[in-house]
């Protein structure tokens, strides 16, 4: 079993749709959590951190469920520009070298 | 502008040759990382360095080597011992005063012919 697992998709949704991605992690000692966005053949870029209380940034909402060991990303009112691969990242601790990346979920938003 | 640069963007090499990928940052970050990404997969850690003149192996260090002689630079050498080197290589840096947030360079796409 992988340490961080994501549904690879692809998710194909129309503009304006709401879409949610889940990510599960196996190490209960994990301390910090993130969503990164990666466009085709480009580097990943931090989309948002995920806090225990949940956090929202515009159309994006991230939530953490420590008891069930999963994090989620909700995108409301999808735009064409949201098309990308979304990577879930889990850190065991704040020491360098402990980031584990999921394989990513691919989203395509269509007109 | 502050950031991370990687060169070259595309690299082709013949089987059996060593090749060095460049990574430079002017963000004054202490920590630097090298990852490998294969199609449809996430990033896997090759090597990382938390401070100048020190580095640690990641999950897939075999066939790779690094050096960290300067804070700004963290070059990666892909040696002939790496059995399947064709991949997308990403360098990242992190501010230890603001941990966990990694900033990535644009990547080098290596193809072994």
Q: Cα(A79)–Cα(A92) distance, rounded to whole angstroms?
A: 33
Flag whether pLDDT at B98 surpasses 90.
no
Rounded CA-CA distance A52/B69 in Å is 39
Q: Which residues of A18-39 are buried (b: 16+ CB within 10 A; e: fewer)?
A: ebebbbbbeeeebebbbbbbbe
Q: Across-strand partners of A32?
A: A91
Mean pLDDT, range A21-47, rounded to an integer:
93
Express as a percent the part of chain B with pLDDT over 70.
Answer: 96
Which residues in chain B touch residue A92, judged by CB atoms under 8 angstroms apart? none
In which band, very low, low, confident or very high, does the pLDDT at A96 lie, cut at 50, 70 and 90?
low
Residue B23 reports pLDDT greater than 80? yes
**Mean pLDDT of the region A16-45:** 94
Inspect the interface and report whether the beta carbons of B42 and A42 lie closer than 8 Å. no
C-alpha A46: how far from its chain's center?
10
Q: Residue B11: which pLDDT band, with cuts at 50, 70 and 90?
A: very high
Confidence of residue B81 (pLDDT cuts 50, 70, 90): confident
CB contact under 8 A, B90 and A43: yes
For residue B95, pLDDT over 90 is answered with no
Mean pLDDT of A60-75: 95
Which two tokens mark B92?
């990242």
pLDDT at A47: 95
Q: Does B31 contact A96 at a Cβ distance shorter than 8 Å?
A: yes
Query: Is the predicted pLDDT of residue B66 greater than 70, yes or no?
Result: yes
pLDDT of B69 > 80? The answer is yes
Cβ atoms of B66 and B49 closer than 8 Å: yes
* CB contact B102 to A (< 8 Å): yes
Banded model confidence at residue A79, pLDDT cuts 50, 70, 90: very high
> B55 and B47 in contact (C-beta within 8 Å)?
yes
Provide the pLDDT for residue B52: 94
Query: How many beta-carbon pairs under 8 angstroms link A with B?
Result: 58
Q: Please state, in angstroms and rounded to a whole number, the distance separating the CA atoms of residues A46 and B107.
A: 16
What's the whole-number mean pLDDT along residues A11-23? Answer: 96
Q: Report the alpha-carbon distance of residue A52 to residue B90 in Å, rounded.
A: 29
Flag whether residue B90 sits within 8 Å of chain A, measured between CB atoms.
yes
Q: Which residues of B17-39 are buried (b: 16+ CB within 10 A; e: fewer)?
A: eebebebbbeeebbbbbbbbbee
- Measure B91 CA to nearest chain A CA, in Å: 9
Chain-chain contact of B90 with A94 (C-beta, under 8 angstroms): no
């Amino acid at each position: 079993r992988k340490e961080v697992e994501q549904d690879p998709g692809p998710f194909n949704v129309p503009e304006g749709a709401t879409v949610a991605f889940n990510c599960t992690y196996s190490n209960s000692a994990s301390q910090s959590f993130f969503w990164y966005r990666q466009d085709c053949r480009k580097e990943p870029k931090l989309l948002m951190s995920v806090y225990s209380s949940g956090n929202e940034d515009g159309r994006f909402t991230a939530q953490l469920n420590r008891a069930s060991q999963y994090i989620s990303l909700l995108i409301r009112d999808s735009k064409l520009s949201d098309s990308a691969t979304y990577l879930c990242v889990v850190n065991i601790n704040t020491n360098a070298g402990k980031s584990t990346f999921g394989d990513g979920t691919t989203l395509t938003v269509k007109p | 502008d502050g950031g991370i640069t990687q060169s070259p963007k595309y690299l082709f090499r013949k089987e059996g040759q060593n090749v060095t990928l460049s990574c430079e940052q002017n963000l004054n970050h202490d920590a630097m990382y090298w990852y490998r990404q294969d199609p449809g997969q996430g990033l896997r850690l090759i090597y990382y360095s938390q401070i100048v003149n020190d580095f640690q192996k990641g999950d897939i260090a075999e066939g790779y080597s690094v050096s960290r002689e300067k804070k700004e630079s963290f070059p990666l050498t892909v040696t002939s011992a790496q059995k399947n080197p064709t991949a997308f290589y990403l360098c990242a840096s992190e501010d230890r005063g603001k941990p966990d947030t990694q900033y990535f360079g644009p990547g080098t796409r290596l193809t072994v012919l």
